[in-house]
């Protein structure tokens, strides 16, 4: 059996509501104990984000679910697609913020698509890498000849869990943290980092009928969970030994008192590990493929924060993989960190704004801090 080539032939995005600027964030997320955050300015100065999108109104009420936003991105994709939704045999949806634990995010998205067909639906779990895991599943399905076309999505809806009312039961604890700024920072950090939105990609076994397509050359992943403890988590709490205790082990009052369902980040682990593990592995991946960074015209690193740009540049140089900044492409500052949607949002912008020309080669790098996982990808413009 000969293997097929696989192409991203069309893309579409969906952002809820109007963009939210830095100075307006707490109008949507609320004030804890009626006070402005002391950590907000520090986080925003470091992450470089100027605007983002929330599926909330100023009263803090949700305007869209994750599944709705994802379906709207797919519907936008379908408007000008070469392939009808009824011909799509596979829908792969990656997210780290599903609307519910069951049913899966993917089938909930499918439920909002009455014009589609009975399709295979898959939902890789995880964090920022979830969408690219979905992409690899679809890529392999088309490459092997199992299906001819597929839709992949990446989406997030974090805003509702970043609302101040999720932290109100910790007001007394937060007040006590004034003497321990590091602990306060870890509790408040992700409120100023995350954004909402969705992006959809249409994959097929031939280039699109018009415009540019991206041929997927390869996708490769790596996890370092066997070496590093949990860094970002939700629905659990770390004990003194660094082990994650599941929400199922807490009683109802403890779930509230300890804000078990807020999203948390161990910033010390993040800073120490996210760049070294991922970029040393990149050198290994490229060597295995017989490639080096000079073979690529564009470098698409998923950045959670501009804070890491200098660290990445330094480690690339240390490993003889220096990439000039003019080859870097990110849209973090004006889309926000949309988690699993961010890698697709970079691809979408490059394909729809005239940045690319035939023959260009793209190198994608997606890190995931939850337990330090990474996905790398190579694409050629055709």
Q: Given pLDDT bands bounded at 50, 70 and 90, which one contains residue 59?
A: very high
**What distance in Å separates the CA atoms of residue 344 and residue 30, rounded to the nearest whole number?**
29
User: What predicted TM-score, i.e. pTM, was given to this entire model?
Assistant: 0.95
Q: How many CB atoms lie within 10 A of CB 211?
A: 12
How many Å apart are CA 119 and CA 100, to the nearest integer? Answer: 21
Around 352, how many Cα atoms within 13 Å sit in the side-chain half-sphere? Answer: 16
The pLDDT of residue 177 is above 50: no
Question: Any bridge partners for residue 244, and if so which?
Answer: 238
Burial state string for 307-339 with b = 16 or more CB within 10 A and e = fewer than 16: ebbeebbebbeeeebebeeeeebbbbeebbbbb
Beta-carbon contacts of residue 175 (< 8 Å; ≥ 6 apart): 33
Instruction: Give the pLDDT confidence score for residue 84 in this predicted structure.
Output: 93
Q: Which of 24-33, 35-44, 174-183, 189-198 has the lowest mean pLDDT?
A: 174-183
Q: What is the mean pLDDT of residues 180-190?
A: 62
Residue 90: the pLDDT is 98
Please provide the average confidence, as pLDDT, over all residues in the chain: 93
CA distance 43 to 254: 29
Structure tokens at 267: 């910033």
Residue 363 dihedral angles phi and psi, to the nearest 5°:
-115, 120
Structure tokens at 300: 């698409």
Cα distances (Å, whole numbers) of residue 250 to 167, 171, 257, 258: 17, 20, 10, 10
Q: How confident is the model at residue 184 (pLDDT cuts 50, 70, 90)?
A: low
Burial of 23 (0-12, 13-18, 19+ CB in 10 A): exposed
Distance CA 180, CA 60 (A): 29
Asked if domains 7-211 and 217-381 share a fold, the reply is: yes
> In Å, how far are 63, 194, 252 from 174, measured between CA atoms?
29, 21, 21
**Please, which pLDDT band fits residue 35 given cuts at 50, 70 and 90?**
confident
End-to-end CA distance of the chain: 24
Task: Pick the closest to residue 115 from 91, 144, 146, 148 (CA basis).
Answer: 91
**Residue 262 in contact with residue 166, Cβ under 8 Å?**
yes
Confidence of residue 60 (pLDDT cuts 50, 70, 90): very high
Looking at domain 7-211, its CATH class is alpha beta
Condensed to tens digits (0 to 9), the pLDDT of residues 310-327 reads: 999 999 999 999 999 999
What are the domain boundaries of the chain?
7-211, 217-381
Please name the CATH architecture into which domain 217-381 falls.
3-Layer(aba) Sandwich (3.40)
State the Cα–Cα distance between residues 153 and 123, nearest whole angstrom: 10
Q: What percentage of the chain's residues is helix, strand, coil (to nearest 5)?
A: 40, 20, 40
Does 174 have pLDDT greater than 70?
no
Q: Averaged over 1-25, what is the pLDDT?
A: 96
Mapping DSSP to helix (H, G, I), strand (E, B) and coil, where does residue 213 land?
coil
> Could you give the CA distance from residue 30 to residue 162 in angstroms, rounded to a whole number?
9
Cis peptide preceding 303, ω within 30 of 0: no
| Cβ 342 vs Cβ 128: under 8 Å | yes
State yes or no: pLDDT of 176 exceeds 70. Answer: no
User: Which pLDDT value is given to residue 168?
Assistant: 63
Cβ-count burial of 61 within 10 angstroms (0-12 exposed, 13-18 middle, 19+ buried)? exposed
């Amino acid at each position: 059996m000969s293997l097929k080539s696989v192409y991203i032939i069309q893309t579409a995005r969906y952002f809820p509501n109007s963009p939210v600027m830095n100075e307006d964030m707490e109008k949507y997320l609320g004030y804890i104990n009626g006070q402005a955050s002391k950590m907000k300015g520090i986080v925003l100065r470091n992450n470089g984000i100027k605007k983002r999108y929330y599926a909330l109104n100023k009263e803090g009420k949700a305007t869209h679910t994750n599944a709705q936003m994802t379906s709207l991105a797919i519907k936008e994709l379908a408007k000008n697609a070469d392939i009808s939704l009824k011909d799509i045999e596979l829908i792969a949806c990656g997210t780290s913020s599903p609307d519910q634990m069951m049913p899966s995010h993917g089938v909930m998205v499918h439920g909002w698509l009455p014009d589609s067909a009975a399709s295979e639906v898959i939902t890789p779990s995880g964090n920022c890498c979830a969408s690219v895991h979905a992409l690899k599943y679809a890529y392999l399905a088309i490459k092997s000849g199992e299906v001819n076309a597929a839709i992949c999505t990446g989406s997030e809806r974090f805003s509702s869990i970043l609302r101040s009312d999720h932290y109100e039961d910790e007001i007394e604890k937060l007040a006590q943290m004034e003497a321990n700024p590091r602990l306060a920072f870890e509790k408040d950090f992700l409120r100023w980092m995350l954004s909402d939105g969705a992006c959809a990609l249409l994959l097929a076994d031939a280039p699109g009928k018009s415009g540019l397509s991206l041929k997927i050359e390869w996708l490769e992943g790596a996890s370092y969970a066997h070496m590093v403890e949990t860094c970002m988590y939700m629905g659990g709490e770390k004990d003194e030994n660094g082990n994650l205790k599941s929400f199922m082990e807490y009683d109802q009052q403890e779930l509230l008192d300890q804000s078990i369902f807020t999203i948390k980040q161990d910033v010390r682990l993040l800073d120490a590990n996210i760049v070294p593990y991922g970029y040393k592995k990149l050198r290994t991946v490229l060597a295995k493929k017989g490639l080096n960074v000079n073979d690529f015209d564009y470098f698409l690193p998923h950045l959670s924060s501009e804070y890491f740009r200098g660290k990445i540049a330094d480690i690339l140089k240390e490993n003889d993989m220096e990439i000039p900044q003019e080859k870097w492409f990110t849209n973090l500052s004006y889309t926000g960190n949309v988690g699993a949607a961010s890698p697709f949002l970079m691809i979408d912008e490059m394909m729809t704004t005239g940045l690319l020309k035939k023959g260009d080669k793209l190198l994608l790098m997606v890190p995931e801090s939850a337990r330090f996982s990474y996905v790398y990808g190579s694409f050629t413009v055709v």
